Each structure stands twice: as structure tokens, then as C-alpha cells.
Amino acid sequence: MNPAIDAQTLVELLIAQLDEAYVFPDRSARAAELLRARLEQGSYGDELGPDLCERISADLLAASEDKHLRLLWHESAAASRDEAELVAALREQFRLENHGVRKIERLPGNVGLIELTLISELAEGGATLAAALQLMQHTHALIFDLRPTRGGSPDGVAFLASYLFPDGDIHLSDILDGPQGTPRQYWTTPYLPGPRYLDRPAYVLTSAATFSGGEALAYDLQAHARATIIGEPTRGGAHPSQVVSLAEHIELRLPIARTINPITGSNWEGVGVQPDLPTAAAAALDVAYRTALETIAENNHLPDQSRLEARQQLGHWRSPTPSSQPGS
């Protein structure tokens, strides 16, 4: 820990972390070259602060094209004291956000809606995620609203995805630690603390702000053709990272791994998850809801009453009363 340092010392500490643990050594070398050049040009000044962190983060992005790699400034020095405290603070933030579960709703026509701001670690938020899926078990279609989802844990992503598959035999993703790391495989789980959501359509809403763990869930479900992605291309961050304390007030988000999907052989880094039904993020819920209602209305295996309710909602949709729409 270095409580009182200047910009040059900060850059050298950052480069040392890149050399030691960054998942792409070639990009680390490019970043080090650019940062040192900026120092010589006097681009960083002498004082540490949020503006300096933003300038260095912009240069890191230019050199690495990695949206996870960045510096964060904390107004409180205590908030950046060490890695354990940073992780504890993140977990407390997640807890206060109800482990990311912002909204659970049954829309008219028996369409379920779960809105997530993040996807929590399974050990911390598994019970909350399971409760959300439990409440959706009797719906005829399910919408995951990931438009505000800014990140998440790989095991939480695999847990949520597991509800949409019949067993534990689906290989969802691999995460490779370091440049030549041994892959950690993520599969659907054979046991869930509640009923699975099978033989019913699922939809995922995305925006340009959807990031990291939110992108992972959308990408995995799309790769297995288990959900229809509706909205905008996502932000494009596929490299799991750790938090590193560089100095008082300053935290480094350092990617130490990369994600590989076993079906595509790739990931969404830099390009984002591409929606199946592209539309503006603000209209994505309307499009998904209407699509779900049309599917329910045409499903001859459902009870007549369920199909009738879906048709009635579609009739309201075509009426001139905008207040009847979910996105209004």
C-alpha cells in the first residue's frame, strides 16, 4: 500500500500489476509503452484524483481494447485500503441491492418479468435468485430484463441459466485464468432448489449498458438457442477481473481471465452480444412482451383461458390507450 505517491509512481505500480497478472501480455506491453509516453509528455500532471484515473483508464482502453481494465477513484481513502476491504464493500453493495433483483412481476397474460441490476455470487445471493425464479414457475413465458445489468459472478450466471435447461449436462462456458491457464468449466447444475423453467419461451432484454456478467447470461442462452435476445448490442466486456488496491483512493480493476463459449469458440469482448431482434433499449420490453403474448395466444397446448387472456392483452395493445402497455 502506498498512501502518498505521485503520478509517475502510480503508473509504475500499475505497469507492475499488468506485467504480473494481466491476461494478455502483449496488450500489457502496449499499455506500458503508451502510459510511459504519456508521462513523458506531461499528460498526467502531478496530482492524483478522479480526473487522472479517468485519463489513465482512457489510455488503458486505447492500448488494450479491454473495457474491464480501468482505474477507479474512491473519495474515501479507507474504501481503497486493501483488496479484502474492496471485495467486502462490493459484497455489501450487492446485498443492499437485493443481490441484483430489482423487480419481479407477473404481467397480464401470465408473462413473468425479472429485472436484474447485477448477478450476485451464488454463495451470497443464491437464495434471492432462487426465490425470484420460484415466483415465476407458473408463468407461460419469462423475460429477463438485463438492460441495467452491469456485471456479475460466473457461478451466479450458470445458476440462473440452469433453470432454463432440463439437467446438468449443458456446458455453458470456460474461463481461462491467465494467458495459458487451465480452464474452469461452467455447466448447468443437476440440482436446483426449485422447479426448472422448461418448454416455455424465454426472452432477454439488453442495452448498450449491459455488461460483463449480464452479457455472459445473454450470450450463453443465445448460443444454446434457449432465449431470444431483444434490444441493443451490449457493451462488450468478457474478461473476469479482480480488484487491486494501488494507493489510497485508487482501485485497479485487472482482468485476469478470459471467457470462451464451447459452442462459438469465442466470446463477446469488444463486440457485445448481438440481439436476435434489434430494437432501441427503451422499446425492448414492449417488443418482448408482445412477442410473448403472440406465442402464448398461438400455443394450442395451453388452456383456452390462458390463450384468451393473451389475446385480450394483444387487443389492448392495438387499442389507443397507451397506459395498458408495460413500457409506458
Angle of the 213-223 helix axis to the 154-162 helix axis, nearest 10: 40
In this structure, the answer to whether residues 84 and 140 fall within a common structural domain is no
CA distance 132 to 149: 16
In this structure, the answer to whether residues 72 and 111 fall within a common structural domain is no
* Cβ neighbours, 10 Å, residue 196: 15
Domain annotation covers residue 309: no
What amino acid occupies position 200? R
Which of 102-106, 123-127, 244-248, 254-258 is the least confident region?
244-248
Q: Where is the domain boundary, 27, 58, 89? A: 89
In this structure, the answer to whether residues 78 and 105 fall within a common structural domain is no
Domain annotation covers residue 296: no
- The answer for residues whose C-beta is within 8 angstroms of residue 281's C-beta and 6 or more apart is 147, 205, 206, 207, 208, 209, 231, 232
Cell of residue 43, nine digits: 499528460
In the chain, the number of structural domains is: 2
Domain annotation covers residue 115: yes
Provide the edge-to-edge strand list for the sheet that holds 141-145: 101-107, 111-116, 141-145, 202-206, 228-231, 277-278
Would the pLDDT of 53 be above 70? yes
Residue 242 three-state SS: strand
Average pLDDT in the 41-60 region?
Answer: 89
In this structure, the answer to whether residues 65 and 121 fall within a common structural domain is no
CA distance 310 to 328: 19
Q: Quick one: pLDDT at residue 321? A: 41
* Model confidence, pTM: 0.84
Give the model's confidence band at 291: pLDDT under 50 very low, under 70 low, under 90 confident, else very high.
very high
CA distance 12 to 130: 44
Give tens-digit pLDDT for 163-211: 999 999 999 999 988 766 778 999 999 999 999 999 999 999 999 999 9
Domain annotation covers residue 223: yes
Of 60-64, 181-185, 256-260, 272-276, where does the model show the most confidence? Answer: 272-276
CA dihedral (228, 233, 238, 243) in degrees, to 10, reads: -120
In this structure, the answer to whether residues 42 and 66 fall within a common structural domain is yes
In this structure, the answer to whether residues 196 and 81 fall within a common structural domain is no
Q: Quick one: pLDDT at residue 6? A: 85
Give the model's confidence band at 322: pLDDT under 50 very low, under 70 low, under 90 confident, else very high.
very low
Alpha carbon separation from 124 to 66, 85, 90, 191, 195 (Å, rounded): 28, 16, 11, 18, 21
The CB-side HSE value for 161 (13 A sphere, CA atoms) comes to 31
Q: Quick one: pLDDT at residue 324? A: 42
In this structure, the answer to whether residues 163 and 181 fall within a common structural domain is yes
Average pLDDT in the 298-305 region?
Answer: 95
In this structure, the answer to whether residues 143 and 278 fall within a common structural domain is yes
Would the pLDDT of 61 be above 90? yes
Give tens-digit pLDDT for 134-160: 999 999 999 999 999 998 899 999 999
In this structure, what DSSP letter does residue 168 have? S
Mean pLDDT of the chain: 90
Q: Quick one: pLDDT at residue 78? A: 60
- The answer for residues whose C-beta is within 8 angstroms of residue 14's C-beta and 6 or more apart is 35, 56, 71, 246, 252
Q: Where is the domain boundary, 89, 107, 136? A: 89
In this structure, the answer to whether residues 106 and 49 fall within a common structural domain is no
Give the model's confidence band at 277: pLDDT under 50 very low, under 70 low, under 90 confident, else very high.
very high
The answer to whether 252 and 2 are in contact (CB under 8 A) is no
Domain annotation covers residue 304: no
Domain with 201, as residue range(s), is 99-241+256-286
Q: Quick one: pLDDT at residue 156? A: 96
Q: Quick one: pLDDT at residue 261? A: 96
Give the model's confidence band at 1: pLDDT under 50 very low, under 70 low, under 90 confident, else very high.
very low
Would the pLDDT of 288 be above 90? yes
CATH number of the structural domain spanning residue 109: 3.90.226.10
Domain annotation covers residue 76: yes
In this structure, the answer to whether residues 85 and 103 fall within a common structural domain is no
The answer to whether 175 and 201 are in contact (CB under 8 A) is no
Domain annotation covers residue 291: no
CA dihedral (149, 153, 159, 163) in degrees, to 10, reads: 20
Domain annotation covers residue 187: yes
In this structure, the answer to whether residues 212 and 151 fall within a common structural domain is yes
Average pLDDT in the 102-131 region?
Answer: 96
- The answer for residues whose C-beta is within 8 angstroms of residue 189's C-beta and 6 or more apart is 158, 159, 162, 168
Q: Quick one: pLDDT at residue 327? A: 56
Q: Quick one: pLDDT at residue 79? A: 54
Q: Where is the domain boundary, 38, 58, 89? A: 89
Average pLDDT in the 88-117 region?
Answer: 92
What amino acid occupies position 25? P
CA distance 303 to 25: 58
In this structure, the answer to whether residues 47 and 191 fall within a common structural domain is no
